[in-house]
Amino acid sequence: MIDLYEIDGFLDDAARAEIVAELDRIGGAPATVLSADPGGRVQPAVRKTTRLAVSPETRARVRDTLMRRAAEIGAHFGVELRECEDPQFLRYETGDFFVPHQDGNTPMVYDDSRFRRVSAVIFLSHRAEQDAPGTYGGGSLVFHGPSTGPPVQVAAEGRPGSLVTFRAETTHEVTPVTHGVRYTIATWFR
């Protein structure tokens, strides 16, 4: 079983549109993956997306909104959540992806990610099969079931403004974006 907790309307349309407008205007740098290097390492064969440099006000507003729901999210997973990492504002363009991975809370990896309990993704963009302005295709957030038993894959619908949370040790991926731009915000509760 894949344990997901989704909150529709986590961001209202006005807040979501304001963030997307900011993301459309700003630049960023290739997103990193965790490594022994401070700040992580760029590995485009593993993770190809852009981490955007939002204003401190936007970052704080999103983080505060996440923390207001931390007790509710923690209760679902049966853990106490005390903080969340700085949110990552991400732009996935055509061809961008993130291979199957885990975000942390795994005993095999002894780095700072071991303190992550719950991963969180806020969806900002509209998904559409046909290419149209303001939409994207592909780019599914797909969860992979336990390593024992028959293979299980579940894709999160990811409606604009929704929050999808899951245990940090859950294997998941972002499939390649086929058209448009996919904006999301990712963070990790500890």
Kind of pairing, strands 97-101 and 171-174? Answer: antiparallel
**Range of 79's domain?**
4-189
Kind of pairing, strands 118-123 and 28-30? Answer: unpaired
- Band (pLDDT 50/70/90 cuts) for residue 112 is low
pLDDT recorded at residue 109:
54
Tell me the average pLDDT across 39-65: 95
Q: What is the pLDDT of residues 80-109, one digit of tens each?
A: 999 999 999 999 999 999 999 998 876 655
Cβ neighbours of residue 156 closer than 8 Å, sequence gap 6 or more? 4, 6, 121, 140, 141, 142, 143, 164
- Band (pLDDT 50/70/90 cuts) for residue 67 is very high
Which percentage of the chain shows pLDDT scores above 90? 83
> Where is 147: in which H helix or E strand?
none
Q: What is the pTM of this model?
A: 0.94
The CA distances from residue 50 to 15, 96, 155, in Å, are 21, 9, 22
CATH (domain of 76)? 2.60.120.620
pLDDT recorded at residue 157:
87
Whether residue 173 is predicted with pLDDT greater than 90 in this model: the reply is yes
Q: How many DSSP H helices and E strands does the chain contain?
A: 3, 15
Domains of the chain: total: 1
Separation of alpha carbons 115 and 164, rounded Å: 19
